[in-house]
Structure 1
Amino acid sequence: MTTISTYTVTSSRDDKYPFVYANPVRVEQRYHPEHDDSSPAQPTPQATATQSALLLHGVGQQYTLVTDHAIPSILGQEEILVKVQAIGLNPIDWKGPAYNFGIPSLPWINGRDLAGVVVAVRDANSRIRVGDRVLVPSTDYRDIRKAAFQQYAVATHFNAARIPAATGLHVSASLGVAFVAATLALGVSLGLDYTTIAACPGPNLVEVVQKVPPTEIPADVREECFAAVPEHERLRKGDWLVIWGASTTTGMITLQLAKLAGVKVICVADVARHGARLHALGADVLVDRHAPARAVEIIRGVTQGKLRFAVDIVGRDTAALLQEVLVEDGTVREDGSHAHLLGLTGLPKERRPGIVYHTVPIKLFHASAGVGETMVAWLEELLQSTALVCPEVVRHAGGLEGINAALDTLRQGGVSGKRIVIELEG
């Protein structure tokens, strides 16, 4: 048993979605093997100093498995250590090395989605406890300790969501980053109020962000974080929303959150392959992506030329197509409101007046403890209530060593509408 410095929560702004404030105290760190659903034969971090990890040594190269990489150290009082048991693969996991994106230095460890069991906690009053099964969206990609492609990863307690007993570990590893992106896109950038959801009420993120100290919001996303403050600009129940790329995990979660809040949703996707699932998740209109010009006509006809909100998850070209269907070529309405186009992977080169362009302020999730904990607390409730349908997953055995092959499958389009999840031994 080791005595360490930690912090306790002394106050909160909201009982349901707490903001963490801390005062230093001294507590004892305890490890309870009986609460760890991993194999008892596996060493804990207290018993070993190294671990297996996948290292990227150069741009354009495959990852290399090493067995003598240091287990990451807990540096902050708000941090926890997670034994990784499942890893969800994202396109960025192969696009980053291929195009030199999101690689701060070399060698590097990647991986954005993980699930596992908590083996160390510093804050005695944290909502996260040793032995909890958690999913962690690792959005802080500049901190190598938090990457998923290793046996142990550091996270902050306000970025970890506890997994309900009825929810599988592997499916949990598939949804973290997609949930964060979808929730911020709708709730912060477009201003959708989740408190109106009857099945499982969530937060009003516009109000949450307004209470965040400005120093907690990175300067490069600050403008985006306050874009939806004017009420007449916000996405509301009864409005139309178009999602281009709706069959992606992020698209399906965006669809579900929007429908829970009463938004009417048009989904653009490969209807033959994914139409049945999107319909089951609540899509009001399905439009096939294989005929882009026809898709634009259908969207314009369904919305009668009054579409104000669109989300693109594919790229710059499809975002440009969505420009074509936004209300009257982006003209400002009588009440001063604009059309809004959010691009998760790119925005049009040529932009039009009257349209407000958005990107997802993903950094907000890990930069602000209040925002992060608000979101993961709601995710826990959504999973517990089964109001959120999890992605379909394809499970790959082989541990870390199998990730290169699985990423090749992802790169070649071998899996569509599902998430590849890597199983780690133990």
Structure 2
Amino acid sequence: MSGVSFLRRVSLHGFRGSLSRSKSNEPQPEMDQPPSQQPLVLPKTQTVLLLHAARQPYDLTEDYPVPELRDDHEVLVRTRAIGLNPVDWKAPELGGDIVHQRQSSRLKVLVISTDYRDLRKSTYQHYVVGLDYNTVRLPPTLSYEEGSTLGVAFVAAALSLGVCMGLDFSSILDGPDLYTLLRQLPSDVFAADIRDECLNSTRSHERAQSGDWLAVWGGSSTSANLTIQLARLAGLRTIAVADTAKHGLRLTHHRSVRPDLLVDSHDPARAVAVIRANTNAKGGGRLRFAIDTRGKESAGWLAQALSGDSVQHGKDSATTGAPPSPPGTPDESSAANSDDGSESSSSLTSSAHLIGLTGLPKERVTECVVYHTVPIKLFHEVPAVGRALVEWLERLLARGLVLPPDIIDVERGLGSVNQGLDRMRRGEISGGKLVVRVD
């Protein structure tokens, strides 16, 4: 990347955040005024952040062209607040006002940009292009800052649960049944690198159901926050693995993300033993689903928790075993069919499923665990999926069934982004979200 200037791009990896609403002693976002309905005169240029080379700070650059709209699905949004994310900081999101589109008036919105190939959609600029089917109308009760904490984590959570695990949301404010929706679309609408994950990675009899257990490692992250909120709404029993010294009190008392079981992550082998002891057949049903938000090593420990193998101690013990098989190739011993060739739920065993948001073990712990990566590009490449998710999120927010994560602090101005990212690199932001107020 040396010598090439480009705007900050957005990808799935690296979202982290918090698990509870802001407390009275924490910084509170300013009350937003409703967007003016008067026509806005758009400037020709704007201020942006450019990255000229890897491992360098962003360069505040003026007189950069305001992006232009190319089709009827695009809207131009004036950025008001940007939610920063720790670890690799690749998934900022923003709240702002629609200031230009082919139809309709100005609205306060959340722009969820998962398309890292189009620089017009990059977050670190005053004016950003969004797709109408990836843009959420915020209710008046939410500020721009609160809106900026929600987007990418919500999409990752919904796709993890709905696509990789097959969870049906239709009983929750007429939410989407993504598993069924994808199978009603032509297969060529899916990019080749995600087609198997979308259509073949989870068999119909293995779909998550109300009452199933779900373990989430990294329980203090924004992605865990939204995952647990949606899982609880759908009736799943949740296990959060987190640093209980830092986050235990908040998690156990939070009304929307309080897990059924909170496990300390300090000793991973002990955490796996606790999970198994509480999810065996005698204790209430086998654990078949797990989501990791931290990385390959913790994902390996979750694979141990999902498997029936004994837990081994040591740094590499969580990533030993046979090579992984790709999605859609479960253990042959469980591939029995009924007389008509269709799958029979009574004759088939069910694999366990591990979803890695930031990485998966290089090797398989056991053949009974299927590995998944989240097909994030579904959101912006398949309009039916993007529209179903944003319209559902609008209903959830309007009814207060989904709440934004905590805002730990608010920086001001695009020029403060470098300072904010440095604070996250130093580990100063924990259990919440750092937001940059742009205007």
TM-score tier after normalising by the smaller chain length: 0.7 to 0.9
Which residue does 1:211 correspond to in 2? 184
Per-residue Cα deviation, 1:78-135 (whole angstroms, up to 9, x for no partner): 10000000001123664x5xxxxxxxxxxxxxx630110001112x3xxxx3311100
Q: For 2:170, what is the secondary structure of its paired residue?
A: helix
Which of 152-161 and 209-218 deviates more? 209-218
* 1:316 corresponds to 2:293: no
Normalised by the length of structure 2, the TM-score is 0.79
**In structure 2, C-alpha distance between the alignment counterparts of 1:407 and 1:202, rounded to whole Å:** 35
Aligned residue among 258, 279, 298 for 2:274: 298
Q: Deviations over 1:381-419 (max 9, x none)?
A: 110010112100134233100000000111111111211
Which residue number in structure 2 is paired with residue 188 of structure 1? Answer: 163
Task: Indicate whether 1:253 and 2:234 are aligned.
Answer: no
Return the match for 2:434 from 385, 395, 420.
420
User: How far off is 1:180 after superposition?
Assistant: 0.5
Aligned equivalent of 1:56, options 37, 51, 56: 51
In the alignment, structure 1 residue 240 sits paired with structure 2 residue 216: no
Q: After superposition, what is the alpha-carbon deviation per residue over 1:123-152, rounded to whole angstroms, capped at 9, x for unaligned?
A: x3xxxx331110011100111000110000
Q: CA deviation at 1:335?
A: 2.3
Give 1:138-153 correspondences, 5 Å limit.
138-153=113-128
Q: Which residue of 2 aligns with 1:363?
A: 377
Corresponding residue number in structure 1 for 2:350: 337
Aligned partners of 1:72 and 1:153 also within 8 Å: yes
Displacement of 1:293 in angstroms is 1.2
- 2 CA distance for matches of 1:387 and 1:167? 13
CA distance in 2 between counterparts of 1:36 and 1:215 reads 40
Q: CA RMSD in A?
A: 2.1
Within 5 Å, give how 1:21-100 maps onto structure 2.
36-37=35-36, 44-45=41-42, 48-91=43-86, 94=89
* Unaligned runs of at least 5 residues, structure 1: 1-33, 97-110
Aligned to 1:349: 362
Q: Which residue in 2 is equivalent to 1:271?
A: 244
Post-superposition Cα deviations, 1:40-86, rounded to whole Å, max 9, x if no partner, equal 9x9732xx210000000001100000111110111122100000000
Instruction: Give the paired residue count.
Output: 366
Provide Cα deviations, 1:241-296, integer angstroms capped at 9, x if missing partner.
10001110000110111111110111000112222332322300000011111101
Give the TM-score normalised by the residue count of structure 1. 0.82
Q: In the TM superposition, what is the alpha-carbon distance from 1:354 to its structure 2 partner?
A: 1.8
| SS at 1:191 equivalent | coil
Paired-residue identity, %: 44
Q: What is the SS of the residue equivalent to 2:209?
A: coil
- Once the 2 structures are TM-superposed, how far is the Cα of residue 325 of structure 1 from its aligned partner? 1.4
**Counterpart of 1:36 in 2: which secondary structure?**
coil
Cα distance change, pair 37–415 in 1 and its aligned pair in 2 (3 A): farther
The equivalent residue for 2:22 is: none
1:288 aligns with 264
Structure 1 residues 188 and 115, CA gap change in structure 2 (3 angstroms): same
Paired residues for 1:221-232 under 5 Å: 221-227=194-200, 230-232=203-205
Aligned to 2:396: 382
| Structure 1 letter corresponding to 2:351 | H
2:218–2:294: 8 Å Cα contact kept in structure 1? yes
Equivalent-residue separation in structure 2 for 1:395 and 1:152 (angstroms)? 23
- Whole-angstrom distance in 1 between the partners of 2:196 and 2:437: 39
Secondary structure of residue in 1 paired with 2:305:
coil
Where structure 2 has 5 or more consecutive residues not aligned to the other structure, the ranges are: 1-32, 310-329, 335-346
Tell me, yes or no, if the aligned pair for 2:134 and 2:380 is still in contact at 8 Å: yes
Bigger CA drift: 210-219 or 69-78? Answer: 210-219
In structure 2, what is the equivalent of residue 115 of structure 1?
95
